[in-house]
Amino acid sequence: MLVTASQPAPTLAGRPSPPDPVGEPPRRSGKPYGEWLIAAILLLPNLVLLVVFTYRPLLDNIRLSFTDWNISSPYADYIGFKNYVTWWHDPNSHQVLKNTVIFTIATVALSMVLGLALALLLDQKLRGRNLVRSVIFAPFVISGAAIGIAFQFVFDPNFGLVHDLGYRMGLTVPNFYQRPGWALFMVTATYVWKNLGYTFVIYLAALQGRRADLDEAAEIDGASAWRRFYKVLLPQLRPTTFFLSITVLLNSVQVFDIINVMTRGGPQGYSTSTMVYQVYQETFVNSRAGYGATIATILFLILLVVTVIQVRVMDRGMKNV
Amino acid sequence: MSDTSAEVAVDVTGGGAHNAEAMSHSGPAMKIAGYAAMVVVFLVVALPLYWILVTSFKQQQDIYTQPAEWWPKHFTTTPYHAATTQIAFWDYVRNSVIITAILSVTKIVLGVISAYALAMLRFPGRGLLFVVIIAALMVPNQITVISNYALVSQMGWRNTYQGIIIPLAGVAFGTFLMRNQFLSLPGEIIESARMDGAGPLKMLWRVVLPMSWPTLIAFSIITVVNEWNEYLWPFLMSDDQRTGTLPIGLTFLQNNDGTSQWAPIMAGTVLAMLPVLILFLALQRHMIKGLTAGAVKG
């Protein structure tokens, strides 16, 4: 209703985003299969690597999840679903699952909302915006391990940056190292700080490729800023939002470096352990590789279900764009 | 249609008048709020980086003061000396450089030739193979490490470069990125090159790649940065400075003794960050292009 005026319904087809693949160029008709040998030679190395080091272990992991393997022994016994039962009844697993859900939802929501907000801000004509854009994106290219190590000192409960800022403002800063909830907050904040640049840059590119004429039409119609944002801009950004929700979620779930260097999953045992961290800890620290494989399998199944749901929602959402 | 919207888009990003009008309804108050927000964002992101840098030039006792020194009272570079001598720093740098270089070149070559085959050559099962390669993007490394660890240790490849490099060398994202790029090339040029009798490899080298430099550069930078920062797999494969990469060396600095020697740790961190930050500052446009090109397809 807002968008009516003289504008056609917004379509994605009109977006000027540069590398819209145009589909296959016309091909010559002769020798349709003459190229298959060259294609095989070109594709084989990559395929072999992916099969051996991605798909094979994915399946092998499922097999291992039914064993009591300890990572170093050449032998392992099949123990049926025992690992799965253990996982189901283990209170630590519940804690870890909860941490994973909290961490993932918090990081995905924060980096997407903040990324969009910053993109909107820095899409405005403001002096110095290029500098700020670069600064926001910079942490994304730094190693997570380096950032995790450095941010330990940023959050140091006695002499860290956060403590110092609080001290100067007369605030009491919680002990991020020892309070479980605050430790999880610290890890989440560090992750968002590092990865915000990604969502920011993607949203900024989407904003620059949007159709300003729609916004203008809505403005002429007298729509408020909020309604223009909600009814005109957000629907245009929907494909970007879906893309980000999938990739950011996959990345968040996989975080290992920051947790390993900052907290080692602690304090108090499992306060900042996520499932990926638990896989590492059970397999390589506690030498329970079978159990680690079980957790990895469960994580993969969860990811699969979540991704399928996301893609379903995306398909439905795209029809309404 | 797409022409007009392209013009509009250019107007939005670069134009003065149009944008001024868009802002006008908000007035100067909004403009000030915009600048205020920008300063806050800048501080939140840049302050930790500044904190790390300043700490790396402090003497140990100056770190433990309250309130903290925001400029080192006794400026010193000893932390850098300590960071590079307490651990075999340059060994880790060497490993990082070797592994990143070999792995990046391998991935770039494999990505380009896979993408070329998928985009330009005709053969049975092409669609299926494309799906097989792309679907690997959905399998997190963290899920495959247990079995890969077992395989690679069995081969006696722990603490070797090949043990780190080979399992990481498969390319899914880059194949996807380059294939999209190749498919976007104008068909007539490809066609006329074919007419001139260019074989597949000559075509790749002489026709397709020269038209794809920006995407190839983007893909290369993203790969180099990713491999330089890779942590979990090198961490599992390396016990010490024989093959450990810089991020792993840093953690040894961190664990060197009970109390944290923050100044050397920060100095080591700065040294580890510096190469990627320089690369990033020099080439950020290309890198961002690659990331957004991946996103457009969704």
Q: Examine the domain organization and report whether B213 and B281 are in the same domain.
A: yes
b/e code A241-280 from CB counts within 10 Å (16+ = b): bbbbbbbbbbbbbbbbbbbbbbbebbbeebbbbbbbbbbb
**What is the reported pLDDT for B284?**
82
pLDDT tens string A82-93: 999 999 999 899
Q: Examine the domain organization and report whether B19 and B142 are in the same domain.
A: no
CB < 8 Å to A43, chain B = 113-114, 117-118, 129
Using only C-alpha atoms, chain A has a radius of gyration, in whole angstroms, of 24
- Range with lowest mean pLDDT among A11-15, B111-115, B123-127, B162-166: A11-15
Which has more pLDDT, B298 or B187?
B187
Cα gap A19→A21, rounded to integer Å: 6
- The 10 Å Cβ neighbour count of residue B218 is 25
Is residue B277 within 8 Å of A197, Cβ to Cβ? no
Q: Within 13 Å, how many C-alpha atoms sit on residue A200's CB side? A: 26
Report the chain A residue with the minimal C-alpha distance to residue B35: A126
**What is the reported pLDDT for B94?**
94
Q: Which two tokens stand for residue B88?
A: 């075999």
Q: Examine the domain organization and report whether B225 and B285 are in the same domain.
A: yes
CATH (domain of B288):
1.10.3720.10
Q: Which two tokens stand for residue B63?
A: 């770190």
Q: Which two tokens stand for residue B122?
A: 């005709």
Cα gap A139→B19, rounded to integer Å: 30
The answer as to whether A289 is a domain residue is no
CATH (domain of A135):
1.10.3720.10
Which has more pLDDT, A316 or B271?
B271
Q: Examine the domain organization and report whether B46 and B170 are in the same domain.
A: no
The shortest CB-CB distance from A50 to any of B124, B136, B147 is to: B136
**What is the reported pLDDT for A319?**
67
- The number of distinct structural domains making up chain A is 1
Span B146-175, average pLDDT: 93
The whole-angstrom distance between B176's CA and the closest CA on chain A is 11
pLDDT tens string A180-237: 889 999 999 999 999 999 999 999 988 887 777 777 777 777 777 788 888 888 888 8
Residue B11 has pLDDT above 90, yes or no: no
3-state SS of chain A: helix, strand, coil percent to 5?
Answer: 70, 0, 30
Taking CB atoms and an 8 Å limit, are A132 and B42 in contact across chains? yes
Q: Examine the domain organization and report whether B41 and B122 are in the same domain.
A: no
- Range with lowest mean pLDDT among A63-77, A281-295, B171-185, B281-295: B281-295
Is residue B185 within 8 Å of A25, Cβ to Cβ? yes
CB < 8 Å to B167, chain A = 49, 53
**What is the reported pLDDT for A18?**
42
Is residue A83 within 8 Å of A312, Cβ to Cβ? no
Report the chain B residue with the minimal C-alpha distance to residue A276: B142
Taking CB atoms and an 8 Å limit, are B146 and A61 in contact across chains? yes
C-alpha distances out from residue B111 to A57, A185, A287, Å: 22, 38, 36
Residue ranges for chain A with pLDDT beneath 70: 1-34, 319-321
The answer as to whether A77 is a domain residue is no
Q: Examine the domain organization and report whether B170 and B120 are in the same domain.
A: yes
Is residue A10 within 8 Å of A214, Cβ to Cβ? yes
Q: Examine the domain organization and report whether B45 and B95 are in the same domain.
A: no
Is residue A275 within 8 Å of A187, Cβ to Cβ? no
The answer as to whether A105 is a domain residue is yes
The answer as to whether B46 is a domain residue is yes
**What is the reported pLDDT for A100?**
95
**What is the reported pLDDT for A94?**
93
Q: Examine the domain organization and report whether B41 and B93 are in the same domain.
A: no
**What is the reported pLDDT for A316?**
81
The answer as to whether B168 is a domain residue is yes
Q: Examine the domain organization and report whether B120 and B247 are in the same domain.
A: yes
Cα gap A209→A276, rounded to integer Å: 36
Q: Examine the domain organization and report whether B267 and B210 are in the same domain.
A: yes
Taking CB atoms and an 8 Å limit, are B215 and A215 in contact across chains? no
The answer as to whether B63 is a domain residue is no
Count chain A–chain B contacts defined by CB atoms under 8 A.
Answer: 352
CB < 8 Å to A311, chain B = none
Provide DSSP, chain B.
-HHHHHHHHHHHHH-SHHHHHHHHTTHHHHHHHHHHHHHHHHHHHHHHHHHHHHHTTS-HHHHS-SSPPSS-SS---HHHHHHHHHS-HHHHHHHHHHHHHHHHHHHHHHHHHHHHHHHH---TTHHHHHHHHHHGGGS-HHHHHHHHHHHHHHTT-TTSHHHHHHHH---SHHHHHHHHHHHTS-HHHHHHHHHTT--HHHIIIIIIGGG-HHHHHHHHHHHHHHHHH--HHHHHH-SSTTT--HHHHHHHHHTSSSS--HHHHHHHHHHHHHHHHHHHHHHHHHHHHHHHHHHHH-
- The number of distinct structural domains making up chain B is 2
**What is the reported pLDDT for B248?**
92
The shortest CB-CB distance from B52 to any of A43, A150, A210 is to: A150
**What is the reported pLDDT for B78?**
86
Q: Which two tokens stand for residue A298?
A: 């469960």
Q: Examine the domain organization and report whether B104 and B248 are in the same domain.
A: yes
Angle, helices B27-55 vs A161-168, to 10°: value is 120
Q: Which of B25, B63, B142, B252 to mutate to test the interface with A (most CBs of A within 10 A)?
A: B142
Restricting to B residues 12-71, those with a Cβ less than 8 Å away from any Cβ of A are: 12-13, 16, 18-20, 22-23, 25-26, 31, 34-35, 37-38, 41-42, 44-49, 51-52, 55, 63-68
**What is the reported pLDDT for B19?**
42
Which residue, among A146, A143, A289, has the nearest Cα to B153 in the 3D structure? A289
Which residue, among A53, A188, A150, A92, has the nearest Cα to B268 in the 3D structure? A150
Which has more pLDDT, B12 or A301?
A301
Q: Examine the domain organization and report whether B167 and B43 are in the same domain.
A: no
Residue B193 has pLDDT above 90, yes or no: no
CB < 8 Å to A144, chain B = 229, 231, 247
Find the domain containing B152 and state its range.
82-297
Would you give the distance in Å from CA B131 to the centre of its chain? Answer: 24
pLDDT range class, residue B271, cuts 50, 70, 90: very high
Find the domain containing A103 and state its range.
95-268+302-319
Residue with tokens 């001598």: B85
The answer as to whether A212 is a domain residue is yes
The answer as to whether B62 is a domain residue is no
pTM: 0.85
The ipTM assigned to this model is 0.84
